[in-house]
Structure 1
Amino acid sequence: METEADPGKRLKVAIIGGGLVGSLSACYFAKRSQNVDLYEYREDIRASKHVRGRSINLSLSARGIRALKEVGLDDQLVNHHGIPMKGRMIHNLNGSQRPILYDPRSLQCIYSVSRRYLNEVLLTAIEKNFNVNLHFSHRLISANLQEGSMTFQLTDTNETVHKKADLIIGADGAFSTVRRHFMKQPMFNFSQTYIEHGYVELCMPPGQDGEFAMKPNYLHVWPRGNFMMIALPNQDRSWTITLFMPLSDFEALDSPTRLLKFFSQHFPDSIPLIGKHQLVTDFFSTKPSTLLSIKCSPYHVGGSALIIGDAAHAMVPFYGQGMNAGFEDCRLLDQLILKYEDMPVALKEFSAVRNRDAEAICDLAMYNYLEMRDLVNRRSFLLRKKVDNLLFWLLPNIWVPLYLSVTFTDIGYRECMENKFWQDKVIRQAVLALGVLATAMCAVGFFQWCKASFDVDAEVSNPVQTA
């Protein structure tokens, strides 16, 4: 079923997945006066005491903020909820701390936001302001993507219902049901990679005075080589702490005694802030979660179906770009539909343009784990950081460090990566040139010294006779 985006025709759009990306996508389509139905297999989280999901809080940065701004939700989520984080606060083994600012000019920051709060705001917005039909407890069990037909099972009654749409948007996460139907299509490529590391979330309560137990405007990091721990601030003055390390290491911590000994060795400053009882309770209340990266292409089927967000490009969380990239998907898709006014062309262009950027940020996220858990403690990394900051200060329109370009601009992720490769090449050539220059200067100095020594020897051997 080929669907044309006729400006005078209202499309029936079905969005599968009522999480962050699906909810924002609904805002965009409804903003363009399309008929939108959003289907979510979970119950309405606004009425739920406990929410099944992944991490508790997330990092919101420029790409995500710009996407929210397009639908008028940036002020509520950034200025009235987000907690600004201006850099990383590195916790050394001896208990000392040192900050590494994201922006050396201290002009830009990222924001710690609650996943649940963000999702609730989006759902309320599309219900009140955008007139989207919400369907909770609807699990997609089958679909014909070309025809736009879908079959759902109601999770509360087991009843089966059939729906139709002009356009199906799969925003149903890393284990997407919509993507499984894509895999039945010819020429669809798919790969997933699990890393050997997993994570467990812990909680650091507020201090005795009810305030933050650590400096709040930083993302706190405990880098320990092969593993690390991070902490993001919450609105209630608590901290969400995430321990990342090899799954085999988690298995070894099979008792409270071993857990406390491990923390005493590697994160001693965190124990009095978390509390031994809280630490043991949180750690053993859940199993470590796995981490995977997903790449696939194309993201569309004709003009009738598309996958976005984690359904198209799930990534490990170490660049804090999973949500931001998904939000950017929504904005870019909206731009392309308006530009081409032809759905098959717009979706094809989205696949072509977005795939190369999505795969780039998946790779960068893998790299950033190495940086956060290990490289931030190396002198070579810190020296390079200083060089990057100096060049950025001198040439802000030419030399933009990788993290700044990814986090604080909307430059394509692939271009950010290629710019980093160019910067590395410039640095290598500069170091080589300096090495050659230093060698040449040493050679000239050695030659001058040899010449001077020869002249002195000549004078001693042949003294000038004077009358």
Structure 2
Amino acid sequence: MSAQYGHTKSLNIAIVGGGLVGALEALYLAKRGHHVSLYESREDIRNTPHVRGRSINLALSVRGRKALRGVGLEQRVVDEHAVPMKARMIHKPDGSTYIIPYDSRTNQCVYSVGRNFLNSVLLEDSEKYTSVEKHFGHKLLEANLSKGELKFLRADTKEIVQVKSDLIIGADGAFSSVRKEMMKQPLFNFSQHYIEHGYTELCIPADKNGGFQMPPNYLHIWPRGNFMMIALPNQDCSWTVTLFMPFINFKQIDTESKLLEFFEKYFPDSIPLIGEKKLIEDFFAGNAQSLITIKCRPYHTLDKALIIGDAAHAVVPFYGQGMNAGFEDCTVLDELFEKHNDDPVEILKEFSEKRWKDAFAISDLAMYNYIEMRDLVNRPSYWLRKSFDDFLFWLVPDFWVPLYNSVTFSTMPYSKCIENRQWQNKMLAVFIVLVTVITFLLYMYTRM
């Protein structure tokens, strides 16, 4: 029995997926005194190099920080490793730039953190718990979720490993094997959507002195209407650059000369930063990667299995909330473990009921933000609305919170963020009507 939490039973829990969300959930469960077996199909990320196409840095914001705080790792990640980004720096086609602050009132920022570093920290921290066992190179072959049974193939010995657990948690990503088993259950709703835009990763190296080639405390964006390029700072003073655009555009760039012509037209200031040779090498090193959105519900099967993170709600990366939403799953789940005294029946049921609306909401918000980042930031209507939002947020911060601030710098449920925005839109429409009517009446009065 755990003296800290007072639960009545220590559960044997199998987590499928040893990535960021799975590793964090293992820490939360270990803190509660449960025995956790973590199964990951890949090798230990601490011993493997970066895989092309899998971004080496992520945007950490308030929801993710809260989750890390819950296991005592927030300060280590933020203070020792993260690069703060206080605003968007927009690059125009002529090479000039301008800044859009994230939070002009309180100057909050998001943080660029390394994926491998963060995953390594979570895995290393789990080693202080004797109740956490890690099994790398274990690929899930079969699962009987209703009985809590799993069958893995061990990569090094080709041995079949049979596991039986009180609870199975699938944190195995967008193409989750655990979710595939859940889809065999009745009344499980599932949809996936590949957007028409893909992405490829490039790199701006550090300068000859080992420093940043661009101002480091910004998310750099090259918005170009139907496509865009972004750059996030890395801890070694390089930049991870990601080009997002329709697949048809990628296919049209099939020679080195077409690539350079394309960049000279749309991203001329980036060429000397990346270097022509490196640009060509990186661009043609592989095909453009796809982006998928996944919505499903419920997230559990009886009291035996649950999916979290991308396995439950994969989103496109344009709000920087994929990791943060997955980490928030761990926070919500921990609160439910506390509320229901570690009873899986009530915990899993309420998690599914409570979480799906917010998961669907951030999926929709992420798609909207892509349109904003690649196109709307260049429009006068965007600037007018943002100025209006920022002014009211400065004037009455408890009454009027802009959409981006509520999503990124608060823990307001994602669905409530949308409801809040819809309410603001109605108030703005009423305000415009009133101003129009008053203006018309004044005009008519002066004509009398």
TM-score range, shorter chain: over 0.9
Counterpart amino acid of residue 173 in structure 1: G
Deviation, structure 1 residue 209: 2.8
Q: What are the within-5 Å matches in structure 2 for residues 388-427 of structure 1? A: 388-427=389-428
Deviation, structure 1 residue 8: 2.4
Counterpart in the other structure of 1:435: 436
Deviations 1:288-307 (A, max 9, x none): 11001000000011111100
Say if 1:127 and 1:134, in contact at 8 Å, map to a contact too. Answer: no
Deviations 1:210-229 (A, max 9, x none): 21111100000000000000
Deviation, structure 1 residue 9: 1.4
Q: What are the within-5 Å matches in structure 2 for residues 1-400 of structure 1? A: 7-51=7-51, 54-129=54-129, 131-341=131-341, 342-400=343-401
Deviation, structure 1 residue 238: 0.4
Partners in 2 of 1:159 and 1:132 — Cα distance? 22
Larger displacement relative to structure 2 (171-180 or 338-347): 338-347
Deviations 1:405-456 (A, max 9, x none): 0001000000000100111111111111101111111011111xxxxxxxxx
Counterpart amino acid of residue 411 in structure 2: D
Say if 1:85 and 1:219, in contact at 8 Å, map to a contact too. Answer: yes
Please provide the CA RMSD for this pair: 1.2
Deviation, structure 1 residue 156: 2.5
Counterpart amino acid of residue 402 in structure 1: L
Partners in 2 of 1:319 and 1:335 — Cα distance? 25
Identity within the alignment, %:
58
Partners in 2 of 1:132 and 1:256 — Cα distance? 50
Deviations 1:204-256 (A, max 9, x none): 01123321111100000000000000000000000000000001100111111
Say if 1:31 and 1:130, in contact at 8 Å, map to a contact too. Answer: no
What's the TM-score once normalised by structure 1's chain length? 0.93
Partners in 2 of 1:201 and 1:56 — Cα distance? 10
Counterpart amino acid of residue 294 in structure 2: I
Say if 2:89 and 2:97, in contact at 8 Å, map to a contact too. Answer: yes
**Structure 2 alignment gaps of length 5 or more:** none
What's the TM-score once normalised by structure 2's chain length? 0.97
Deviation, structure 1 residue 121: 0.8
Say if 1:27 and 1:130, in contact at 8 Å, map to a contact too. Answer: no
Deviation, structure 1 residue 53: 6.5
The SS at the match of 1:289 is coil
The SS at the match of 1:245 is strand
Counterpart amino acid of residue 19 in structure 1: G
Partners in 2 of 1:94 and 1:52 — Cα distance? 30
Say if 1:45 and 1:51, in contact at 8 Å, map to a contact too. Answer: no
Counterpart in the other structure of 2:447: 446
Larger displacement relative to structure 2 (252-261 or 5-14): 5-14
Deviation, structure 1 residue 132: 1.1
Counterpart amino acid of residue 63 in structure 2: R
Partners in 1 of 2:272 and 2:384 — Cα distance? 33
Runs of 4 or more, structure 1, over 6 Å off, are none
